[in-house]
A and B are shown apart, each in its own frame.
Chain A
Amino acid sequence: MNKDFKLSDIPKHNIYQVPEGYFDRLPMRVMERTTATGNQHHSPVYTSLWQALRVAVAPFILLLVFVGAYFLSTPTQKAGNASIANLPDQEIVDYLTTYAQVEATDLAELSVADKDITSDFLNISPNVAESELEYYQLNEEPF
C-alpha cells in the first residue's frame, strides 16, 4: 500500500447494514417495552410524596419494633415469677437443701418451712457436726 497513505483518502462509508424495515419497527418495539415497564413510571409529585412518607414512617416502624420487643420480653418474666409463686413451699425447701448453698440463718428466717427440717440444721449437736465434717473430704487446694 502507498507509504504516503492518509485516512482522508478513504471515502467515509457505512459498511454495516440493518434488516429491511428495522427502523420502522424499532419505535414500536421500544414502546411495547415501555408499556410493560410503564406501570412503574411515577410522576414527580408521586415520587416526592412517597419519599416524604418513607421518612415519616421510618421512626414509627422503629417505635413499633421497640414496643413489640418490650411486650415480648415482659410476659416471660411475669410468667417466671408466677410459676415460682405457685410452687409448694416444701418443694422449694427440698430444692434449696439439695442444690443451693443455704446458710443456717436462711432456714431460720424461713418461717413457713417445715420445722422438722430446719430444726435438723439449727439444733445439731457438736458431735454430730464433727462426724459430718469428717465424712466429707475437704478440698486441699488453697483458695
Chain B
Amino acid sequence: MEDKELLEKFANPESRNLAFNQLVRKYQQKVYWHIRKMVIDHEDADDLTQEVFIKVWKNLENFRQDAQLYTWLYRIATNECLTFLSSKKRKFFLPINDVAAELAEKIDSSPDIAGDEIQLKLQKALLRLPDKQRLVFNMKYYDDLKYEEISEILGTSVGALKASYHHAVKKIEEFLKQD
C-alpha cells in the first residue's frame, strides 16, 4: 500500500488501526535495523523500535505530507538512537570510548551476532566513529540512501554529509589495515 493511501486510511478513525498495522509491517525492518546497527543489542533495539512506532502513532496526524514518510520515520528513529546513546554515556559516567568498548564487547559475546572475522572487525571499527558519523555511514553504506535523503533526516547539508562519509571510510580502512 502506498504511503498516501496509508495516511488517508489513518486519518479515518474507522480504518486507523488497520492502516497503522500496515504501516508498522511496511517499515518495521528498516526502522529496526537502523536502530540495531547503532545500539548493537537486540533488546535495546526492540525497545527503541517500539518507542519509535508509539511516537509515530501519536504524531502521525501532524505529519506534513511534503516530506517522505520513511525519512520522517528515520528521523524519529535517529533521534531515539542518539538520545539512548547519550543517556547511556551520562548514566554510567563513561567517556565515549568506554561506551564503544562496551558495545564492541557485545559484538564479541552476543549469541545473536554472527559473522566472519572481517565483518566483526568492520563493526568494531564503526563503533570508533562519533555517533552522528556512524549514522551517516550506516545510512549511506548499508541502507543506500541518497545524500539528499540523509540530509532531510539529519538536517545537515549534502556537502557536509559527503565529507563526513568520506572521512568515515578513511578511518574505517585505516582501522582495518591494522594488525
Contact = CB atoms under 8 A, between A and B. Distances in A.
Given A34-B57, A37-B57, A7 B173 contact: yes
A4 to B, nearest CB: 9
Interface string A4-24: 011100101111111100110
Nearest to A24: B25
Task: Identify whether the interface residues of B are mostly helix, strand, loop, or mixed.
Answer: helix
Interface stretch (B85-93, B118-126, B155-163): B118-126
Interface string A29-59: 1110110010011011000000000000000
A27 B28 contact: yes
A44 B115 CA distance: 49
Contacts of A2: 177
Contact of B118 (A10, A22, A34): A10
Task: Identify whether the interface residues of A are mostly helix, strand, loop, or mixed.
Answer: loop
Contacts of A34: 17, 20, 53-54, 57
A33 B24 contact: no
B87 to A, nearest CB: 21
B8 to A, nearest CB: 14
Give the residue among A16, A22, A26, A37 with the most B Cβ atoms within 10 A.
Answer: A16
Interface residues of B, number: 41
A78 interface: no
Interface residues of A, number: 29
B36 interface: yes
A5 B176 contact: yes
A15 B115 contact: yes
A12 B143 CA distance: 11
Contact of A31 (B20, B36, B169): B20
B123 A15 contact: yes
A31 B28 CA distance: 12
A12 B58 contact: no
B179 to A, nearest CB: 6
Contacts of B122: 10
A105 B26 CA distance: 98
A14 B177 CA distance: 21
Interface in B140-154: 141-142
Interface string A81-100: 00000000000000000000
B57 A1 contact: no
A40 B59 CA distance: 12
Interface string B34-64: 0011001010001001100110011001000
Nearest to A26: B28
Given A10-B122, A19-B112, A31 B177 contact: no
